[in-house]
Structure 1
Amino acid sequence: MKKGIRRFGGYKFCFVAAVLAGIAFVIPAAWAEDGVTDSEVVIGQCAALEGPAAGLGTGMNVGMKACLDEVNAKGGVNGRKIKFIASNDGYEPDKTVDCTLNMIENEKVFALAGYVGTPTAKAALPIVQEMKVPLVGLYTGAGLLRNPVSRYIINIRASYDDETEALVERIVSDLGIKDIAVFYQDDSFGLAGLSGTEKALKKRGLKLAGMGTFARNTEAVKGGLASIMAAKPGAVVMVGPYKPIAAFVKEAKAAGFNPVLATISFVGTENLIKESGDAANGIIISQVVPSPDDTSIPVVRDFQAALKKSFPNEAPSYGRLEGYVTARVLATALEKAGAALTREGLIDAIESMSNADIGGMSVSFSKDNHQGLNKVYMTQVGGGKAKPVAKVARP
């Protein structure tokens, strides 16, 4: 992994820059960037399309494809069709590095989009910063991608701090529970969720009641469950993808351990409900997009229509809607960047978007803010479905 990144530093980077500078006068403006021709712009995605977190990556992928199919059917952006290339990284950072380098070096993408996960995004961060390739719309709310602001990282969804603040507020205010523990994936993603929960508790003069962990891409939850049970909390905030969280939920129920359970959007709502069965009832889930069934919102109506056309056998879901929203923001920015498309021009266009309407949802960016949305929506599982709620209730 480190060797791959170093190839872009030092003499090779300087040599490439010198060569480009020496021949720049013979390259037409429209061809000055990789991944851009008069008729096409190429976007790449590295995500978990296979493996235990595949539901998350395929959700984003399907939603993005549905949106980009819709855009291309209308003529594309500024006369260019958007070509979308996706590759599996298995939710493993080392594979993300390889995938990202391949997208930039071999596939010659113009920009990257739709990455899934904090540890994977963290691995890609130094590459896109050094190569100055935009990475737009990541399926993660980690603070390390937001503070400090990186010019080439564009977040669309609310942060994990936003989500955990909303969850703690509902648990404390609606249920009167103040002893809250955290069960989290033992990596940068889990630590981001843990940190957000601790911040929300500290804001209310509270401390963490207990914690337990599990390893990424495993369902080894028994040790973490035992640690949580020993603390006897009234509620548990769970931070992980659907398979280990479902395993935790089912193991807890089987052990007669019944605190209020809550989790953040990354979990993969529909996958969690399917994996957990009846044990999912009562789980509180924060969301970063509105209900995929709420057709009173124009972007949701558009999403449903696009999904039905491109993927008639796929049902609307929170993850697919987030993918659609991500691609719509990207397409809007590409249009705004103009016909003489450059990577720097794309970033400038995004930073100039203030209260930009994407269909009943408004996104705002600036040089000092690379997170377009802040709103968190609350849901609670009942009858096999995550239902939007203003207040949460005890199961």
Structure 2
Amino acid sequence: MRAGKARQSGSNSFLGMDRYDNSDGARQSLRRFRLRMPKMISLALLLLLALPVSAEKGVSPNEVVLGEASAFSGPSAGLGVEQWRGHSAAFQAANDAGGVNGRKIRLVLTDDGYDAEKAAPAVVELITKHNVFAIFGGVGTPTIVKALPVILKYHQAEGLFRFANFTGAQPQREPPYDRAVFNVRASYRQETKAMVDAFVAKGLKKIGVYVQDDAYGASGRDGVRRALKDHGLDIVADATYPRGQTFDVSTASQLKILRDAGVQGVVMVGAYQACAAFVRDAREAGWNAPLHNVSFVGADQMLRLLREEEKKSGKKLTDNLIVTQVVPSYNDRSIPLVREYAAAIDKYNPRVPPAMGDGSYAPGSKYSFGSLEGYLNAKVFLAVLHKAGADLTRKSFYEAAEKMGKFDVGLGVPLELSATRHQALDKVWFTYVNNDSWASRDDPASLIH
């Protein structure tokens, strides 16, 4: 009975050795096991160290994956496609040179069609399905307004951020979203102030606006109102149009509002199809007041529509037309960045994103303001990526961006990023139509007549 009881208790064993077995063989086995234990622990630790470490999302030893949700379809597809062309050329050039710290850049795309309701789902797909390192680029104010809560949520939870969106609006420049976004371009407030100051300096004080009826238009209107307030003035007439309006739609009713109010100069805050239509209707009606567009308009696409219309009507439509830009003219080859951009576009010739969009837009010329801005944005990202070093994480990139200070990427104008400054550029360029392209001039008053 005692032996049976001991055997029954011995069924609870330790590494196969009966805990009640006091034989010489058992003691020797236990002694050998104890001697081997340090080696076994060391081997186990080595095996654990050899296992793959959980990597930062969107980062591998060989690449960094960025997500770009943008307007690749619909009436504003030209804006998204041109931005992508610049991104693509810059990243291809960097990849061919070996990447940054041994990693190449890969862009994953989704199409929001410049539709505010599609913006957040497009960003969520990039974050959750494609596990991108960051959200890069993108087009528009109404879209970013919808996407910002998503960006902030993942910024707070995982350190995600958005870099270089194509909009000068305020929401991503102000709390609470400013901490989750790095901007490159000057703001709409800076663009509209530059133009309003030029109008007033020329003696034009009755300023009206023609704006898209959404968050983008509201942001531009606010900039105009603030700038006029500095001169003791206010907007004298306000005309709007719905987002997505196309070139074939008449703007006669908006034109009447502005002309009846005696407007002397117009600030336009819209996209190229509806703005080109307004320019067409104003000039065909014999109204030659100075018309200004902010950079988002898509100046090259607008000019293309107007030139085609001029061939049909025989009337000159582009006189007294000004567009403020956040990059210099792509024809100014005295600037190193512009020369580099042109060489990259020439070499890689990006046209439209493969398997993306609805085919409604194809580039009408090799170079554009949109693709130059896209190229600049990519170069700024690459500069920060280089500073972040080989041990790349979202945190290390974010910290590197805030430690950039003043730097230059060949633009000839200093850029600056810091913990208190998430917008790299303040410079605004004034451009006007010169033959079939745009030229820039430092004196905006000389463009107004």
Provide TM-score, normalisation by structure 1: 0.90
Q: CA deviation at 1:28?
A: 5.3
**1:282 touches 1:382 (CA, 8 Å); kept in 2?**
no
Q: How much has 1:27 moved relative to structure 2?
A: 7.8
Contact 2:85 2:350 in 1 (8 A): no
- Matching of residue 228 in structure 1 with residue 243 in structure 2: no
Equivalent residue, structure 1, for 2:15: none
Structure 2 counterparts to residues 107-256 of structure 1, below 5 A: 107-132=130-155, 133-148=160-175, 150-173=178-201, 175-219=202-246, 221-256=251-286
Distance in 2, matches of 1:100 and 1:27, equals: 32
- 1:42 corresponds, among 52, 65, 69, to 65
Q: CA RMSD for the aligned pairs?
A: 1.8
Q: Which has the larger radius of gyration?
A: 2
Amino acid at match of 2:319: N
Instruction: Could you tell me which runs of 5 or more consecutive residues in structure 2 were left unpaired when the two chains were aligned.
Output: 1-48, 308-315, 352-364
Q: Distance in 2 between matches of 1:122 and 1:154?
A: 15
- 2: CA distance, partners of 1:262 / 1:361: 24
The alpha carbon displacement at 1:223 in A equals 3.3
Deviations 1:249-289 (A, max 9, x none): 11122223321111110011111111122412321110101
Matched, 1:261 2:291: yes
Pairing partner for 2:112 from 86, 89, 106? 89
SS at match of 1:151: helix
Spell out, residue by residue over 1:83-107, the C-alpha distance to the aligned partner (whole angstroms, 9 max, x if none).
1122221101111111101111111
Q: SS in structure 1 opposite 2:268? A: strand
CA drift of 1:55 comes to: 1.1
Alignment TM-score, normalising by the size of structure 2: 0.79
1:347 aligns with 2:398: yes
* 1:26 to partner: Cα distance: 9.6
1:61 paired residue number: 84
Looking at structure 2, the residues matched to 190 and 365 of structure 1 have their Cα atoms a distance apart, in angstroms, of 27
Letter of the aligned partner of 2:256 in structure 1?
A
Secondary structure at the counterpart of residue 262 of structure 1: strand
What SS does the corresponding residue of 2:245 show, helix, strand or coil? coil
> CA contact under 8 A between 2:272 and 2:299: conserved in structure 1?
yes
Amino acid at match of 1:375: K
What do residues 174-228 of structure 1 show as CA deviations (whole Å, max 9, x unaligned)? x321111001001110011101111111111111111100111114534332322
| Structure 1 counterpart SS, 2:98 | coil
Distance change in 2, residues 1:100/1:27 (3 Å): farther
Q: 1: CA distance between counterparts of 2:344 and 2:321?
A: 30
**SS of equivalent to 1:138:** coil
Partner of 2:343 in structure 1?
Answer: 305
Of residues 378, 386, 392, the one that matches 1:335 is: 386
1:283-315 CA-partner distances (Å, limit 9, x unpaired): 111010111111111111111111111117752
- Count, aligned residues: 370
The answer to whether the 8 Å contact 1:45/1:113 transfers is yes
Kindly indicate whether the alpha-carbon contact (under 8 Å) linking 2:288 and 2:320 is maintained by their aligned counterparts in 1.
no
- Of 385, 408, 418, the match for 1:357: 408
- Opposite residue 154 of structure 2, the aligned amino acid is M
The answer on whether the counterparts of 1:299 and 1:361 sit within 8 Å (CA) in structure 2 is no
Residue 393 of structure 1 pairs with residue 447 of structure 2: yes
Note the C-alpha offset of 1:357.
Answer: 1.4
> Does the residue aligned with 2:317 lie in a helix, a strand or coil?
helix
| Residues 1:154 and 1:26: Cα distance change in structure 2 (over 3 Å) | farther
Shift of the alpha carbon at 1:76? Answer: 0.5
Aligned to 2:362: none
1:156 touches 1:372 (CA, 8 Å); kept in 2? yes
Matching of residue 72 in structure 1 with residue 110 in structure 2: no
Distance in 2 separating the partners of 1:227 and 1:201: 19
Q: Per-residue deviation at 1:145?
A: 1.2
